[in-house]
Amino acid sequence: MSARARTRPDSGAWTAISLAIAYGAIIAMYAVWAASSVTRGASAWPFVLALPLVYLMVPLVFVSLWFAFAWWFRAERPDDLRLSATGALRLFWHEFVTIAGNAPRMIFYRALTPDPPPAPARSPILLIHGVLCNGGVWRPFKRWLAHCAIAPVYTLSYGPPLASIDVFADQAAAKIDAILTDTGAEKVIVVAHSMGGLVMRAYLRRYGGSKVARLVTIATPHEGSMLAWIAIGQSMAQLRPRNPWLAGLGAPEGDDVPPIVSLWSWHDSMVAPQTSSRVTFGENIEVAGIGHTALLRDEAVFQRVLKEIEAAGARYQ
């Protein structure tokens, strides 16, 4: 059975439908207000021209709040990593643009990030998203890999979003097994963003690492994030620092534990303190001046992850 068939119904639909409903409701309320104003004699053109701003206000508010919390609970940074005013504006802008672009990518994720058809492959790659997202966030990353002729590349959209991370680990196990069946490969290379890295650590604890060639985590809160306190749900509770689930996760153990790399940013806008992404059981790669989600569309980050993918044995197909 193919990877696509084994993971139906696609859990990423939870996020896609929620976003579509939320933005649909906002636009509908704006349209009602605009129509009411036009019937009272106002010109329609200002309302039409302002519609993109209505859409952009949502990510603007959330990104502003996330940066405020991340700054309040920030890790002490080396002096040479402190940003100038221009650098801070660039940091905010890139994160805002990424978040604003992710909504349509997540709504239309099935069309934008489909899995490849079954075919023999030596080193398939699996991309695992973070909290409250789906595979659509990997669209820019998948395009970069395709540009470099790296294939096949799969995405996992797990859910429902607020369930236990252990549930997501079981979904990752099913996806990995299906990929290996589709490709005939012995192992997969996994690149995981944010909570996706904890999904894979939960997977390694339950299933071992014999089917994983290498794990690269990007902006994963390995020691939790204070921002998880402002959200609800079991998975969010498991992301809080020093919670029992996270404390019990421990370091990956066993003879089959794959090489693990944690790539993280000193200016992460969702992992706070930012040093929570450091690991003691693998290699740490530090970057600066890049926000949490913008890491997935940064050229330097992509090149660094590409080196890890190639080091794990991926070949140009």
The pLDDT of residue 11 is 79
Q: Do the Cβ atoms of 218 and 301 come closer than 8 Å?
A: yes
Model pTM score:
0.93
Peptide bond into 9 cis (omega under 30): yes
Please report, as a single letter, which amino acid is at residue 40: R
The pLDDT of residue 314 is 54
Unique residue bearing structure tokens 């992509």: 302
Q: Which long-range contacts (CB under 8 A, 24 or more apart) does 244-251 make?
A: 245/165, 246/198, 249/198, 249/201, 249/202, 249/205, 250/205, 251/280, 251/281
User: Which domain does 126 fall in, by range?
Assistant: 1-317
Structure tokens at 303: 């090149």
Q: What is the DSSP letter of 83?
A: P
End-to-end CA distance of the chain: 23
Low-confidence ranges of the chain (pLDDT < 50): 1, 3-9, 315-317
Q: What angle do CA 21, 25, 26 make, to 5 degrees?
A: 120
The pLDDT of residue 39 is 93
- Kindly report the CATH number assigned to the domain that includes residue 160: 3.40.50.1820
How many residues are given for the chain?
Answer: 317
Structure tokens at 162: 């607020």
The pLDDT of residue 316 is 41
The count of structural domains within the chain is 1
Least Cα distance to 281 among 245, 250, 316, 239 occurs for 250
In whole angstroms, what is the distance from residue 51 CA to residue 40 CA? Answer: 19
Q: Do the Cβ atoms of 21 and 28 come closer than 8 Å?
A: no
Structure tokens at 83: 């940003």
The pLDDT of residue 10 is 67
Q: What is the DSSP letter of 281?
A: S
